[in-house]
Structure 1
Amino acid sequence: MTCAARKRRKITQQRLADGAGVTLPTIRRLENGDAGVSLATLAMALVVLGEGKRLADLLDVGADDVGLMLENQRLPQRVRVSRKKSTMEKPGTAEAAPSLPQNDDKFGEAF
């Protein structure tokens, strides 16, 4: 992944290593798919390659489809009203919502 991206940008392995703050052998291991390379190294390489947004998208909680699905599975089957004394106002004490004018001429034709 990083190898092709690095080559397209005409960046040497040494320049990528310097920008990511790691050694040249670490970049070589990263490009060879070594599982022992840290996620921090991959993240820094992505930033050097100008792909930091991809990393941010990966960490976006709102785009975590699996996490959202698991959260939705934990939703209760029912929502019940508490039997405790309600804090809602008594009928007739709340301000009435403003009503729309009855004359449609002010607003054009109704559909």
Structure 2
Amino acid sequence: MKTEKNAKHSDGNDKVTSPLPLPVERAIIKLGHDISLARRRRRISQASLAERMGASLSTVRRMEKGDVRVPIHFIARALHVFGEIQSLAELLDTARDDIGLTLMDQQLPKRVRNKTPGTGAL
């Protein structure tokens, strides 16, 4: 899928959006390919997956092609059908966000002092 195709919304609006960064586009295309592979390995037809997801056949086809306009809830539904919904739930687990935790640690005070009596401390 070319990023130029994503320049306009699919609802007919002429509102121009910024093109997707190439790594984002590649990741979405890979995810679609992986969903297709997972479906075929489980011997599930596209029609059956669509029915189990509560989606249309065209949505499943677009999702497997890496169409960026497929809403994330359909991807979540596909993961649920495959028994992989936990991987989405843990995608950006804040307890394991090394960068975020490091940034928070940098903001910690160098030392903590007890408040002196009479300054409002209990």
Please report how far the alpha carbon of residue 57 of structure 1 lies from its aligned counterpart in structure 2 after TM superposition.
1.9
Q: Secondary structure of the residue that 2:90 maps to in structure 1?
A: helix
- Unaligned runs of 5+ residues in structure 2 are 1-33
Q: Secondary structure of the residue that 1:2 maps to in structure 2?
A: helix
Please state which structure has a larger fraction of its residues in helix: 2
Q: CA RMSD in A?
A: 1.9
AA in 1 matched with 2:48: R
Q: Cα distance 1:65–1:80, how it changes in 2: closer, same or farther (>3 A)?
A: closer
1:82 partnered with 2:114: yes
How far, CA to CA, are the matches of 1:36 and 1:73 in structure 2?
Answer: 38
Deviating 4+ runs (over 6 angstroms): none
- Give the corresponding residue for 1:104: none
1:6 partnered with 2:7: no
Q: Cα distance 1:23–1:69, how it changes in 2: closer, same or farther (>3 A)?
A: farther
What is the identity percentage for the equivalent residue pairs of Structure 1 and Structure 2?
42
5 Å-filtered alignment, 1:23-102, equals 23-76=56-109, 78-85=110-117
- Unaligned runs of 5+ residues in structure 1 are 88-111
Q: What is the count of residue pairs matched by the alignment? A: 86
Determine which structure has more spread, i.e. the larger CA radius of gyration: 1
Does the Cα contact within 8 Å between 1:57 and 1:63 map onto a contact in 2? no
How far, CA to CA, are the matches of 1:22 and 1:50 in structure 2?
Answer: 17
Please report how far the alpha carbon of residue 59 of structure 1 lies from its aligned counterpart in structure 2 after TM superposition.
4.7
1:22 partnered with 2:65: no
Q: Cα distance 1:26–1:66, how it changes in 2: closer, same or farther (>3 A)?
A: farther
How far, CA to CA, are the matches of 1:17 and 1:70 in structure 2?
Answer: 42
AA in 2 matched with 1:81: R
Q: Secondary structure of the residue that 1:58 maps to in structure 2?
A: coil
